[in-house]
Amino acid sequence: MTDSTDATASSAAAGEQHVLAVVPAHVGGRAAGSGFAALLPDPAKVTVVESVDEDPRALRTARVLITALAPVTAEHLAAAPELKLVQCSSHGFDYVDVAAARDRGIPVCTIGSSDAEKRCVAEQTFALMLALAKQLVPAHTALAEGDWALPRLKPSLTELSGKTLGIVGLGQIGQEVALRGRAFSMDVVYAGRRRAEPSVEERLGARHLDLDELLRTSDYVSLHAPLTDATRGLLSAERLALLKPTAFVVNTARGALIDQEALADALESGALAGAGLDVFDPEPPPSSLRLLRAPNVVLSPHVGGVTRETVVRIAIAAAQNVASYLEGKRPQDVVN
């Protein structure tokens, strides 16, 4: 690994294939990004930064840019004349200007086919659901303050068994959530851009509904759709109003799938029973975000896909795709 801009320039002059790994501080920074250097074969030389703007010379000479949730704009792409590939270290790709990359003939790849994140995100989904059903956060807080809150909490305690779980987006992660829903004896329904194959529905025990019907009938709504222009603000104020007042919303996908102000309104007014949120718009969220103080909300800082085990799988999947590309092979999981 090199952190010197002079070394970057000399490496480029020597014909080495320069890889720029961008890992923001809030997802681990340089310490997390240093692993990419060890995973890529020679003659790749890796520069690790915490933002794309940090090292303009490294950006100018980069043949490949690996990004871990760091924004990659059209301006960044224009400033990288040698760039041939953008590799996202995630299933999502909303933080990259995919259209601008397409216009410049630069493939944008994810780790979608690697299965790296699907199990741990599904586990985080159920951690949030169980915390809401069992009122774990208020129970813990009350007990830590010397308050035996059982009489007060008892009316709001529920179980998952027999409830309807509505999954929005039945991709790899959504399917893992469906399997766990069946294990909890939940009735699983789903909505998405297209209907799954009958064999998939049978394996998951899941029924297809249109989105509005799913919202009207579900006790738990779990979001697993990618963030695109079509899905931004998918749960608008109007759609949130379709939910039962006893329903819970869980989001481990992208914060911008939900109108956050409308969700805060619904929680504060009692129109919605609660929400479990692992993602926000933006990230980290500002202290002024009303959802941080809304009633019956369980929050986590985008940890669903970053267990010790998953971080290793993600890094390996991203590095393997980059290594294959540098060896002249076709990259996988191209989204543009």
**Which residues form the catalytic set?**
254, 283, 302
CA-nearest of 72, 71, 33 to 49 is 33
User: Residues of 67-96 as b/e, b for ≥16 C-beta within 10 angstroms?
Assistant: bbbbbbeeebbeebeebbbbbbbbbbbbbb
Rg (CA), the chain: 22
* Cα first-last separation, the chain: 29
DSSP 293: G
DSSP state of 154: G
How remote is the C-alpha of 323 from its chain's centroid? Answer: 24
Tokens 């792409």 found at: 77
Residue 186's nearest CA partner among 263, 261, 125 is 125
Strands 108-109 and 85-88: parallel
Strands (E) in 1-128, as ranges, are 17-22, 44-49, 64-67, 85-88, 108-109
